[in-house]
Amino acid sequence: MPRDDIRASSHAVLRTTLGAMLISFSAVWVKLADVSPTVSAFYRVFFGGLFLLAILAVRREKLWRGWHCLGLSLTAGIFFALDLYTWHRSIAYVGPGLATILGNFEVFLVPAAGVVLYREQLSPRFLFSVPLAVTGLFMIVGIRWEALSPDYRIGIAYGLATAFFYTGFLIVLRKLQSHASKPSAALSLMVVSASTALYLAMEIVRTDTSFAIPNLKSGVSLAALGLMSQTVGWLLITHSLPRIPAAIAGLLLLLQPALAFIWDVVFFARETSTMAWAGVGLALLAIYFGATSEREPPPSTG
């Protein structure tokens, strides 16, 4: 490999690693903000959209790319709004670590959607990863479902719903990025963030919830969520993934759910047994197998 290609690949690895680390703090910022799950989701995309709009303004990038592009953006926004709506609730019920691992189960749903929509075939590697992930999940939460509290079961359901809605978001986002007008990653993410913020704002108004940010800690947490997770982390990963082999990219993206679980233990004193830690390792291994069974791993959720 030429020296310039090696240098470019190394820089892409560093950017992907940094992006995954930044996104791994998403659930931490959500947990620290003293607002409802819907409000924290709203400010994530609202602040993120503003940061992205500023980047586009500096680049003097054309914003209007046609009605079809707008329609895809609005559709992606619906899926992303539902993704954030369910994920932020899962964090409240089961904590940042497990909620993030459950959200990353989209790596199993995206190929399944490819079978249904495009008649793609599933690789043996993928088929092996699914029972591995289920086994890991049972090791984390416990074998007996009926022994779990109702709130914990609701949190798991919200986490799995997150994976479902994130799958829909990724499918639409890929169509958007392959559109004839070829919107940049920053433009696509900005329009999706704006439409997601609109949908979440409508839900906040419908439920008569306050938009108020109650204190400085919440304000800093929400701003960091919008800047670090929604903007910088996503852009770093989106620009770098095409320049890294799929196996390495899949491994690097595992940093996001793995670190999210560690932050849950470190910052919020999550009690985790030896069996649960083994389950975390098994689930992450399954996510890696699932992600690298595709040609290009999708960006991490969260």
Identity at 220, one-letter amino acid code: V
Q: What local confidence, expressed as pLDDT, does residue 246 receive?
A: 67
Q: What is the mean pLDDT of residues 6-13?
A: 72
* Residues ≥6 apart with Cβ < 8 Å to 277: none
Q: What local confidence, expressed as pLDDT, does residue 298 receive?
A: 63
Q: What local confidence, expressed as pLDDT, does residue 181 receive?
A: 67
Query: How many Å apart are CA 158 and CA 116, to the nearest integer?
Result: 24
Total residues belonging to the chain: 302
Q: What local confidence, expressed as pLDDT, does residue 65 receive?
A: 76
* Cβ proximity of 227 and 16 under 8 Å: no
Q: What local confidence, expressed as pLDDT, does residue 271 receive?
A: 83
* Cβ proximity of 96 and 268 under 8 Å: yes
Confidence of residue 196 (pLDDT cuts 50, 70, 90): very high
Query: How many Å apart are CA 56 and CA 210, to the nearest integer?
Result: 30
Confidence of residue 187 (pLDDT cuts 50, 70, 90): confident
Task: Report yes or no on whether pTM surpasses 0.85.
Answer: yes
pLDDT tens figures, 238-294? 778 767 776 677 777 788 899 999 999 999 998 888 989 999 999 999 988 887 775
Between residues 219 and 69, which one has the greater pLDDT?
219
- Rounded to 5°, angle at Cα 232 from 295 and 257: 55
Helices (H), ranges, 124-184: 124-141, 150-177
pLDDT tens figures, 133-181? 889 988 888 766 777 889 999 999 999 999 999 999 988 887 776 666 6
* Cβ proximity of 278 and 285 under 8 Å: no
Q: What local confidence, expressed as pLDDT, does residue 294 receive?
A: 59
Query: How many Å apart are CA 184 and CA 58, to the nearest integer?
Result: 14
DSSP 8-class letter at 105:
T
Query: How many Å apart are CA 145 and CA 177, to the nearest integer?
Result: 41
Q: What local confidence, expressed as pLDDT, does residue 87 receive?
A: 96
- Rounded to 5°, angle at Cα 135 from 133 and 136: 65
Query: How many Å apart are CA 247 and CA 115, to the nearest integer?
Result: 22
Most confident listed range (14-28, 175-189, 229-243, 287-301)? 14-28
Picking from 82, 93, 86, the residue whose alpha carbon sits closest to that of residue 141 is 93
Q: Enumerate the domain spans of the chain.
A: 3-292
Query: How large a percentage of the chain has pLDDT more than 90?
Result: 47
